[in-house]
Amino acid sequence: MAKEADAEFEAVSRRGEALERIRALSESLLGDSDSAVFEGMQKELERLVSAMSAGRHVRVEMEGSLPRGLANREGRSLAWELLSAGTKDLLALALRLAMASFFLREADGFLMMDDPLVDMDPERQKAAAEALASFAAGKQLILFTCHPPHAELLGGNLTRL
């Protein structure tokens, strides 16, 4: 019984050591890739925000990995709480597009959204529609809206339900 217990203990110890090596390797890989993922997405996020805001906002202020506000070319910042509903929607849309672009890179996949233009003014709607069209050039994009002007602006294959 003692020999069997020793053998079982050795087997469990070896599995534990193997799991520890995997955990340590995973942690080191994730640590390296997290910063690359974050930096890549932040650059794409800032590019999209700048394009969709006609250059009014060129930098996304981050708190950790979360957007906390936007800054203009002069460096003046507006915190999230001070952004208009349309600008918040613009930032949220840019974040979704940046994340989808980053994580879907070469993979097959699609993005589905419901009424992404609702609280934006007409100028931002047009810029957002261009960003969505650019995304849709490389990946499948499915959008739902109950606003006929938005459907016309977004184009694509319209299906009326």
Strand partners, 66: 63
Selected residue with higher pLDDT from 28 and 13: 13
Q: Which of 157, 138, 137, 88 is nearest to 116 (CA)?
A: 88
The pLDDT assigned to 38 comes to 67
Mean pLDDT of 83-108: 87
In tens, the pLDDT along 7-19 reads 888 877 876 676 6
Token pair 């599995």 is at which residue? 15
pLDDT, position 143 = 92
With 60 as the cut, is the pLDDT of residue 26 above it?
A: no
In this predicted structure, the answer to whether residue 160 has a pLDDT above a threshold of 90 is no
**Token pair for 85:** 């509903």
Q: Is residue 50 pLDDT above 90, yes or no?
A: yes
Q: What does the pLDDT read at residue 103?
A: 82
- Using a 10 angstrom Cβ sphere, with 0-12 exposed, 13-18 middle and 19 or more buried, the burial of residue 72 is middle
Closest of 150, 66, 138 to residue 114, by C-alpha: 150
Q: Which CA distances in Å does 28 have to 25, 31, 34, 65? A: 5, 5, 10, 19
pLDDT per position as a tens digit, 96-123: 899 888 888 888 889 999 989 988 889 9
pLDDT of residue 86: 86
Dist. CA 47–CA 57, nearest whole Å? 10
| Domain edges within the chain | 2-154
Mean pLDDT estimate for the chain: 84
Asked if pLDDT for residue 28 goes beyond 70, the answer is: no
Name the token pair of 50.
Answer: 């700048």
Q: Which listed CATH number (3.20.20.60, 3.40.50.300, 3.90.920.20, 3.20.20.70) goes with 2-154?
A: 3.40.50.300
Work out the pLDDT band at 33, boundaries 50, 70, 90.
Answer: low
Are 90 and 55 in contact by the 8 Å Cβ rule? The answer is no
Say what percent of the chain tops pLDDT 70.
86
Residue 82 DSSP symbol: G
